[in-house]
């Protein structure tokens, strides 16, 4: 949060509690509509236990334009990318001042930001109360609903083939990082192996 902003401490405390409750009660828990077992996000519970999850509350961004939101996320992404790339390291960038009529700006800038994040070996997810992003294994379940508009940053992981096979430059970055694990038979999940093989065929890799 910018230090030159006059935000009431009670407001900050309330927003932090809302996000932490969401992380603990929803993101770090199973959900019957997810389409698989395990937590909604397999990383957050461990990140919280190890104190590897940080929050950035950006009250200076009100969502008047996509450029404003994107620039703030880029600032946070640049800072995050300087950290040691531990798999459980996570940064949650929260925008409490974006009003409900502007929540969709989070979706509008997501694709561009994902390109930039993947190029740095990162993954980014967008969340807000009306987000329609579906679960991978259940397209009918809007998994990315949160109490406040926010983006989540973490380092790329082997299961991210589920999110990176649709564009060649995303897949190339993934393949450079995890291709050896697939080739050596170290990826056990059949769905991950299948998606990786599909991407190899799609982009005519032999």
pLDDT in tens, 29-58: 999 999 999 999 988 999 898 888 999 999
pLDDT in tens, 10-28: 789 999 999 999 999 999 9
Residue 102 CB coordination number (10 Å): 19
Q: What integer is the mean pLDDT of 70-96?
A: 91
Please report, for residues 19, 28, 35, 52, 138, the alpha-carbon distance to residue 38 in angstroms, rounded to integers and kept in the order given.
Answer: 20, 9, 10, 20, 14
Nearest CA-CA partner of 162 in 20, 36, 17, 23: 36
pTM of the entire predicted model: 0.91
Give the whole-number percent of the chain exceeding pLDDT 90. Answer: 85
- Judged against a pLDDT cut of 70, whether residue 5 lies above it is answered with no
């Amino acid at each position: 949060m910018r230090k030159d902003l006059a935000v009431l401490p009670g407001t900050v405390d309330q927003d932090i509690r809302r996000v932490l409750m969401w992380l603990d009660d929803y993101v770090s828990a199973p959900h019957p509509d997810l389409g698989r077992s395990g937590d909604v996000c397999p990383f957050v519970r461990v990140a919280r236990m190890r104190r590897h999850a940080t929050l950035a509350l950006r009250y200076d961004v009100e969502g008047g334009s996509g450029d404003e939101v994107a620039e703030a996320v880029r600032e946070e992404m640049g800072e995050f990318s300087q950290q040691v790339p531990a798999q459980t390291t996570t940064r949650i960038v929260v925008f409490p001042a974006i009003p409900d009529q502007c929540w969709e700006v989070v979706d509008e800038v997501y694709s561009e930001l994902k390109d930039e994040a993947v190029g740095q070996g990162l993954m980014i997810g967008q969340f807000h109360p009306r987000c329609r992003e579906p679960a991978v294994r259940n397209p009918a379940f809007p998994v990315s609903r949160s109490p406040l508009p926010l983006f989540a940053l973490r380092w790329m992981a082997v299961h991210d083939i589920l999110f990176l096979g649709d564009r060649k430059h995303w897949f190339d970055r993934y393949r450079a990082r995890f291709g050896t694990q697939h080739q050596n038979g170290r990826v056990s999940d059949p769905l991950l192996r299948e998606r990786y093989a599909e991407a190899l065929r799609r982009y005519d890799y032999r």
